[in-house]
């Protein structure tokens, strides 16, 4: 009887040790999973009007550019936020980008260079003409000989220029060398 009691007690202790070991392994596995998620960090994406953000060594526009975060689905790992700047990791490079040009969902990639669209675009005919001035700061103005003026902001998407007027209307333009179709009319770079 003593042997049976000793055996039962030993088995009970052994079983409880296994449960403790399994529970400890489970807790350690959950802790590792949480740590892995914390290390990965959330993804952020450039929504900059000209197709990319400069990644800088320090959170200031005067700091050295150490990389680029391009618009598209690749994005960057968000490491932290310091004032109006976000610390990110892009292709293994850690740096800072202006937070106002980030979003939490992927953006459309850009396949054209902003320098192609920046400048004055002129349309003329026998009865008058019009000028779109596409500025490097993401803004544009429109004037025609009838006295109509409009303004708004612009951004690039794929190989198109999108003009967003201050009233909310949008026009999608197709730049091609020194010409660009805007609202069905061919404008020429001045």
Mean pLDDT calculated for residue range 154-180: 92
Average pLDDT score over the chain = 83
φ/ψ of 25, rounded to 5, equals -60, -40
Q: Is the dihedral of CA 84, 88, 93, 98 positive or negative?
A: negative
Coil, helix or strand for 100? helix
Dist. CA 106–CA 74, nearest whole Å? 7
Domain ranges, ordered by start, for the chain: 43-103, 114-189
% of the chain at pLDDT higher than 70: 79
Strands 76-82 vs 85-90: parallel, antiparallel or unpaired = antiparallel
pLDDT given for residue 184 in this prediction? 86
pTM of the predicted model, to two decimals? 0.67
Residues 174 and 111 sit within 8 Å (Cβ to Cβ): no
DSSP state of 18: H
**pLDDT tens digits, one per residue of 27-55:** 455 554 444 444 567 999 999 999 999 99
Q: Say yes or no to pLDDT of 163 above 80.
A: yes
Residue 25 banded pLDDT, cuts 50, 70, 90:
low
Angle in degrees, CA 40, 46, 33, rounded to 5: 10
Q: Say yes or no to pLDDT of 128 above 50.
A: yes
Strands 160-165 vs 170-176: parallel, antiparallel or unpaired = antiparallel
**pLDDT tens digits, one per residue of 57-108:** 999 999 999 999 999 999 999 999 999 999 999 999 999 999 999 999 999 9
Tell the CATH topology of 114-189: Lipocalin (2.40.128)
User: Hey, what CATH class is 43-103 in?
Assistant: mainly beta
């Amino acid at each position: 009887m003593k042997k049976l009691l000793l055996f039962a007690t030993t088995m009970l202790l052994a079983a409880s040790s296994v449960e403790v070991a399994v529970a400890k392994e489970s807790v350690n596995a959950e802790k590792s999973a949480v740590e892995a998620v914390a290390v990965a960090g959330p993804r952020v994406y450039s929504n900059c009007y000209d197709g990319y953000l400069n990644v800088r060594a320090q959170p200031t526009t005067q700091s050295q550019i150490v990389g680029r975060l391009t618009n598209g689905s690749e994005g960057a790992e968000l490491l932290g936020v310091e004032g109006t700047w976000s610390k990110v990791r892009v292709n293994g490079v850690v740096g800072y980008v202006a937070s106002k040009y980030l979003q939490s969902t992927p953006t459309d990639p850009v396949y054209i260079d902003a320098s192609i669209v920046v400048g004055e675009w002129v349309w003329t005919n026998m009865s008058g003409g019009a000028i779109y001035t596409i500025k490097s700061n993401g803004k544009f103005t429109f004037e025609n000989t009838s006295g109509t003026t409009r303004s708004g902001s612009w951004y690039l998407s794929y190989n198109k220029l999108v003009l967003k007027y201050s009233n909310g209307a949008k026009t999608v333009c197709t730049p091609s060398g020194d010409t660009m179709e805007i609202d069905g009319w061919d404008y020429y770079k001045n």
